[in-house]
């Protein structure tokens, strides 16, 4: 059960992260910021996180958006990707393994939606696993 103790120690060490990027009218914590805080602690505790994709679903989605240049609504078509992930924690000291199921989604006009789904899934898995607050103001 050392893996649970190590995960708790990481969770206890993270007080919170402020949102550091804005896009599409949303503020969020970037993966770079998140990983720069968590990865050194994972290495110190000798924990590996090995994500793998167990399923991918994609769907073409067409919707209306306002286009300033056209001065009206236009149709936009993108591909929505939903990935099912297995997040596998491995304790490199004793080989103990913990596998959790997770998912992520992403949408883009081309293949970037798949990468977005993976990135989004990993980022939010880590934020939720470690119960990391992401307040807009100073989290301390």
Predicted confidence band of residue 138 (pLDDT cuts 50, 70, 90): very low
Q: Is the model's pLDDT at 137 over the cut of 70?
A: no
Predicted confidence band of residue 111 (pLDDT cuts 50, 70, 90): confident
Q: Is the model's pLDDT at 22 over the cut of 70?
A: yes
Distance, CA of 108 to CA of 86 (rounded, Å): 23
Query: What pLDDT sits at residue 33?
Result: 87
Quick check: helix, strand or coil at residue 99? strand
User: What mean pLDDT, rounded, does the chain reach?
Assistant: 91
How many CA atoms lie within 13 Å of 139's alpha carbon, on the beta-carbon side? 14
Query: H-helix or E-strand containing 132?
Result: none
């Amino acid at each position: 059960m050392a893996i649970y103790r190590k995960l708790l120690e990481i969770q206890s060490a993270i007080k919170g992260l402020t949102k550091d990027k804005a896009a599409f009218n949303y503020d969020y914590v970037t993966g770079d910021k998140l990983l720069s805080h968590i990865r050194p602690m994972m290495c110190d505790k000798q924990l590996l996180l090995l994500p793998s994709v167990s399923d991918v679903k994609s769907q073409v989605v067409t919707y209306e958006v306002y286009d300033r240049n056209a001065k009206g609504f236009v149709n936009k078509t993108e591909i929505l990707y939903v990935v099912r992930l297995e997040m596998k924690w491995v304790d490199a000291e004793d080989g103990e393994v913990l596998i959790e199921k997770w998912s992520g989604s992403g949408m883009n006009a081309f293949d970037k939606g798949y990468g977005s789904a993976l990135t989004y899934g990993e980022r939010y898995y880590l934020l939720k696993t470690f119960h990391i607050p992401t307040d807009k103001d100073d989290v301390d």
